[in-house]
Structure 1
Amino acid sequence: MVNPAEKLEQACADAWPAQVERRLGDWRLRAAGGFTGRANSALALGDPGRPVPDALSEICEFAHAHRIEPMAQAVRGGPVEDALARAGWVPHETYVNGHEVSVLLGPLRPGARGTGEDGVRVLGAPTPGWWELTVDRPEPTEAERHVLTGGARVGYGVATREGRTVGAVRGAVAGGVLLVARLAVRPEYRGQGLGTALMAAVGGWAGRHGATRCALQVSVRNERALALYERLGFGEHHRYRYWVPGAR
């Protein structure tokens, strides 16, 4: 029987593609120039097809070859975490973006808003304004462009006011799931419902492309985002953590 957490994690990985990926049994070694932990860690789910210590050595070799930190992403409380601990790896508690992530599952919420009448719509390609809100520049790096535009079917939600992009979100559909990421609203436009409208818009878009549910990955430290998604009907499905080699 397929583990539900692992199945959802595989769909999320398909929706967030690394520049370089190599299979190691069921595991996926990934690198993308250091842009995000998800695209620069080994997705350690299932059986790597060899003893775990050997698989971890391959993770280190792959990471060093691509000039990134050796790191594994594993479902919290799952059997892989036990194997990582036995091999001397430890949770990456100093990871700047938070080493523990809550994976939320909820409705698509297409709603009545987000159809373009209120300046919120979903585009087929990113604009300079979307990039500026998403990566803080109107032009992305090669790694950022690959991760954010590659892989699964992707939609780029934007909210505009007087010709200016004031809100953005990325939606990608894989395995019947909409993965929402990079939701951002300019500080001076917060509190006006734009985050909810962007979620509604990308949810409606995803429903037309076969998605039946929505997933989000949020650091457990991001209390503001967790509170927003709880109000929108999302609940925690599982958590994952990043692990790194322990001190030698």
Structure 2
Amino acid sequence: MVYRSNHPTVKAGGRAMMRVMVVDDQKDVRDGLALMLSRDPEIQVVARCANGAEALEALHTLDANGSPLPDVTLMDVRMPVMDGIDATRRIHRLWPDVGIVVLTTYDQDDYAFGALAVGAAGFLLKDASARSIVDAVHAVCAGDAALSPRVTREVIARVIPKPADARNADPFSQLPPRELELASFVAEGLSNAEIAKRMSIEPASVKRSVSRIISRLGLASRVQIAVEWWRAGRHW
């Protein structure tokens, strides 16, 4: 079952709210997440879907109607019909501006980590606090990743192999010094606001630069900057 809202809600002051789609095969989980999110006055839940196929259907419908797409999708990984990894891959390819946060039950679920390689902006445990889930939506909308620096390093070090000849295939060598410095901060897991403070620039400039680095290196997300930093043999 798919629930949609094709009309964006606008806050006082004329600024659009953050639009979120919730995808999980358990109705009580979908409803619980939607309830938690709806308590934030800046968030509007625009769709609730039972699997990846329904999520794609909802996005195709919104797109065909010219309606605003979700800014963020909370995506379960283990679902019937179409799982979260396949859905994440397809959504990222068709609608790269839709940020995806993967939801998992286990903090060592390698299946969930696979979503990072196909474009997810991060992952959360399903038992995360309501504040953590809301904060993740805000972070992804701001262009950040929904992973703490510690989790980023631990996940990448455990899941992503580092080749012995990493230095021979270092994509970051093509970046100018300023972008290289910025990429190092992204790899550390710092937010746009934290990077902006360190580099004495505006957060909006950081967001544009991160997008430029992702495009130049042919990556899927800012999380992949951290992955490639590790693979290249660079240090955090």
What TM-score do the two structures reach when normalised by structure 1?
0.26
Q: Which has the higher contact order (CA 8 A, sep 6+)?
A: 1
| Larger strand fraction of residues | 1
Q: Which is richer in helix? A: 2
